[in-house]
A and B are shown apart, each in its own frame.
Chain A
Amino acid sequence: MTAGEATAADPSERHAPGPAAPPPTGRALRRLRAALLLGGLTAGLVVVSVVAAGVGAYTIPAGQVAASMLDAVGIRVAAPLPDRVAHTVLWDVRLPRVVLAVTVGAALGVAGAMMQGIFGNPLAEPGVIGVSSGAAVGAIVVIFTGATVLGHWTIIASSFVFGLATTLFVYVFARSRGRTEVVTLLLTGIAVNAIAGAAIGLMTNFSQDAEIQTITFWQLGSVATATWSKVAAIVPCLIAGMVVIPIYARRLDLLALGEGPARHLGVDVERMRLVLITALALLTSAAVAFAGIVAFIGLVVPHIVRMVTGPGHRVLLPASALGGGLLLLAADLLARTAAAPAEIPLGVVTAALGGPFFFYLLYRTRSKQGGWS
């Protein structure tokens, strides 16, 4: 018997013992992957939150963080609670920041996934197509003019109006025959970003020092000034933007076939477009209003999720929310610890991660289908 025959006989032997379980079908496999992904992301989010809340200039052991958080919801554990100073640091400084980072990241992740679905275009992202800049112009106009018509809510309202207007403009401008061409969309983004950049530059030029600092904060992105009142303001926006997920996730799948076929399958495309664009403008604007321009979250996260579980929106949207929260939380942890005691702006960290990922996407698409046309 030669070695060749021996190896040839091997596979049949391996199959022989026991009644083999039926091979998992594609759908069962996808469901398993989706469950693992959602579970894994949730677990990751909890773990990283606890770690991030402990790490910093005043280190609090993760066990104490967890004990204190459980204590807050009425569960007593054996682990020791943090002392008074640690408690203050944890609850007044770290946790608002952690929660704000997660909320902003979730909003951006889900907005990116929604935007890609509604544009039918895998490169649509609030930062890339200029919606974030548009919303930032809205925020900076308020800072520049010092308007306080709506109190605390002036900035978010103004950035929402500008963000919605920019989204609608890009949508109408870049779309033809129910689809957006990748090139047209990106070029529209370049133009919108240029105009927004000019407006921001102009206002920066005529600003006082204090205002310039605030404006720079908006352009580079940061969650450093988190407070519970900011968290309380953004969470309703996140919830309002995300309630549409269970209603429209399946219909977004149908939209991948094009507007005509989606309509033939019973989707009221016009209404869906209106609802989803409002939702994603709300999510993006809320994120920009409280954390400035944090680029690429909405591009990177949905792409990674699609690689794992496929493009179905019923998994993609919630997973993008969880993944966006996790990624932004990790990026913020990096931003404040990498060069401690100095802080790197959050937008710089996400751009440093997202830029190379964009290159990878370009490379992969080029080698697979010869690039985007």
Chain B
Amino acid sequence: MIPTLRRRARAAIAPLSRPPARPAPVAAGDPVVRAEGVTVRRGGRALLDGVDLTVRAGELVALVGPNGAGKSTLLGAVSGDLAAGPERGADGGAVRLFDRGLNEWTPPELALRRAVLPQEAAVSFPFSVAELVAMGRAPWAGLGDPAQDDEIVAAAMEGTGISHLADRRFPTLSGGERARVMLARVLAQDAQLLMLDEPTAALDIHHQELVLTIARTLAERGGAVIVVLHDLGLAAAYAHRVAILSEGRIAAQGPPAEVFTAPLLSAVYRHEVEVLPHPRTGIPLVVPLR
């Protein structure tokens, strides 16, 4: 009886709530994010000063740089948080997602296409892990098959190694477990564009590698991933391209092997560093001079 009522109620309000258009497939190499000349000023200081960034489908792009360089601000600008938040939006430039202006998307349409993992994981009420991960499926409510939702949620929990925590309440989890629950929620959203703000900050080595392996796999399968990282070693190992931010500008961008050079990083971080190729893999290792 209740499902019938629910269906009737949905049918009754359907004319009012046009279902959001499902995302169209994106060919590998198509630009997914295109930011041009993004400028953000706060309190007379430029947090971002004319930043250009393009992210294509099939690509994992890492944003690195010292504290306060504007990594999270840039992520906020391309995710739409700056425009929608309580503060003012960007002061200049344009952001296009999937070849449409950021402000032309409605929130439900955008939620089907891009997922964002914020830096801090806070939940106001003691939801269980399974409930929290299932929240990632909220944008798809009414668009897909509920059984498929369950499968995607289960896969996201499996992938992040939190299946055994399903019935635990969020406040009882450790910091690393919380971070993985939030990641699973974002993965369950099943979006073509993934934005991760320091996903590895609270994690041990095993889980850091796990998270970036997942992100890299998604990119290899045709998704686009932007990830803010502090650990240059992780960025060098997993990113297709890195963008090094310094004082609100992009100091360099390109494949890690090309842009991670000792003089550039030493200047950006204001600390002498050495860059050595790993003896076995050849991936650049960034070592601060001690």
| A250 nearest CB neighbor, chain B only | B138
**With A266-B138, A267-B107 known to touch, is A312 a contact of B122 (CB < 8 Å)?**
no
A362 smallest CB distance to B (angstroms): 17
B111 within 8 A of A: yes
- The answer to whether B115 and A264 touch across the interface, beta carbons within 8 angstroms, is yes
From B116, B126, B141, give the contact of A261 (CB < 8 A).
B116
Which residues of A line the B interface, CB within 8 A? 25-27, 30, 116, 120-122, 177-179, 246-247, 250-251, 253-258, 260-261, 263-269, 306, 310-312, 369
- Select which of A121, A263, A310 is within 8 A of B107 by beta carbon: A263
Q: Closest chain A residue to B171 by CB distance? A: A369
The answer to whether A250 and B124 have CB atoms under 8 Å apart is no
28 contacts between A and B (CB under 8 A): A26-B130, A30-B128, A178-B86, A179-B122, A179-B124, A257-B122, A257-B123, A257-B132, A258-B118, A258-B124, A261-B118, A263-B107, A264-B111, A264-B116, A265-B139, A266-B20, A266-B109, A266-B111, A266-B112, A267-B138, A268-B106, A310-B128, A310-B131, A311-B125, A311-B126, A312-B127, A312-B131, A369-B171
Q: A122-B124, A122-B125, A256-B124 are in contact. Are A265 and B136 (CB under 8 A)?
A: yes
* B108 proximal to A (CB < 8 A): yes
Q: Closest CB-CB distance, A239 to chain B, in whole Å? A: 15
**B125 near A26 (CB under 8 angstroms)?**
no
CB distance A258 to B122 under 8 Å?
Answer: yes
Q: A26-B166, A312-B131 are in contact. Are A260 and B124 (CB under 8 A)?
A: no
Q: Hey, which chain B residues are within 8 Å of A251, CB to CB?
A: 138
Which chain A positions have C-beta within 8 A of B138? 250-251, 254, 265-267
Docked CA distance A312–B167 (Å): 14
Residue pair A256, B123 in contact (C-beta under 8 Å): yes
**Smallest CB separation, B9 vs chain A (Å):** 7
CA distance in complex: A121, B112 (Å): 28
Asked whether A260 lies within 8 Å of B118 as measured between CB atoms, the reply is yes
Note all chain A residues with C-beta closer than 8 A to B167.
25-26
Query: Contact string, B172-193, partner A, CB cutoff 8 A, digits 1/0?
Result: 0000000000000100010000
Min CB–CB distance A1 → chain B (angstroms): 36
B85 within 8 A of A: yes
Assuming A254-B138, A310-B131, is B123 touching A265 (CB within 8 A)? no
Q: Is B84 an interface residue (CB 8 A)?
A: yes
- Once bound together, how far apart are the Cα atoms of A268 and B116, in whole Å? 16
Residues in A neighbouring B111, C-beta threshold 8 A: 264-266
Chain B residue contacts of A177, Cβ below 8 A: 86
Instruction: Say how far B128's CB is from chain A's closest CB, in angstroms.
Output: 6
What residues on B are CB-neighbors of A264 within 8 Å? 79, 110-111, 114-116
A145 to B109, CA, bound (A): 52
Distance in Å: Cβ of A200 to nearest Cβ of chain B: 32
